[in-house]
Structure 1
Amino acid sequence: MKIPCFRCGKKIDTPKASNSDYIMAQDTIVKELRETLFALKHNQTTLAKQEKMQEIETYFDTDGVTELTRPKYPGLSIEDSEYGATEIPNIEARKAIGEDLVKVVMVKKEKDIQKTGIICPDCFKPTDFVIWGVHKK
């Protein structure tokens, strides 16, 4: 089976330790869209805002006798971006609980992902990390 060199495209016949290198390097890093979990927790600003949101005011119905209550600041809300956000690994999502945890949200964003590649011996760079191959030390 012939595989092209990751860098120059030269065909390598049945890549093995004697005719190629299997590497990780700076040029094998790619950007991929990944889902990341964030634990949203209260901070001083959101706690103060939440307290304000819970304030109620008393008023009288149109009959002037019946006393009713309503939120004092009905349009006030807390956006996700206002909370303190801490990135958490997927595995630890269930463990991310505490008094100040509001919720866990998922955000899709680009991340650098380390990939590997097969190269011909001519394309080897001293900065390459060789997993196996001609230049394995």
Structure 2
Amino acid sequence: MDGMDISNMSNMSNMSRPGPSHGNDISNQGFAPWHLGNQSGTDEVFMAAQEAVSAHRDSQGTFHYSMVRTAQGEVYQCSSCKRTYVHKKNLLQHQRLNCGKEPQFPCPLCPYRATQKVSLKK
């Protein structure tokens, strides 16, 4: 321990104890305690509110949809054609690729046109 004076040596004696490295202040100011109380309904309400906010934001071409409660549970409903989807990603894909658009993929054997290329391989 070359180059240390007595004040540094006294601070070193506290280094063997676990705890914060920013001093001996035990109050932990700035660190609020975690509260994990009963929040059973609040998370669902918050998530539904977040979904509603993101669902109605269409001034720049974002998609519109709503959550619909059915006997099978909650589903996502397209506001344009009223089709429903269990998964949000499937609704967003429908709105991006299919909804309000003519089918893009012609069958090479007949006049049928499909909205997805995979449908032609059947």
Per residue, is there more helix in 1 or in 2? Answer: 2
Q: TM-score, normalised by structure 2?
A: 0.18
Higher relative CO (Cα under 8 Å, sequence separation at least 6) belongs to: 1
Calculate the TM-score normalised by the size of structure 1.
0.16
Higher share of residues assigned strand? 1
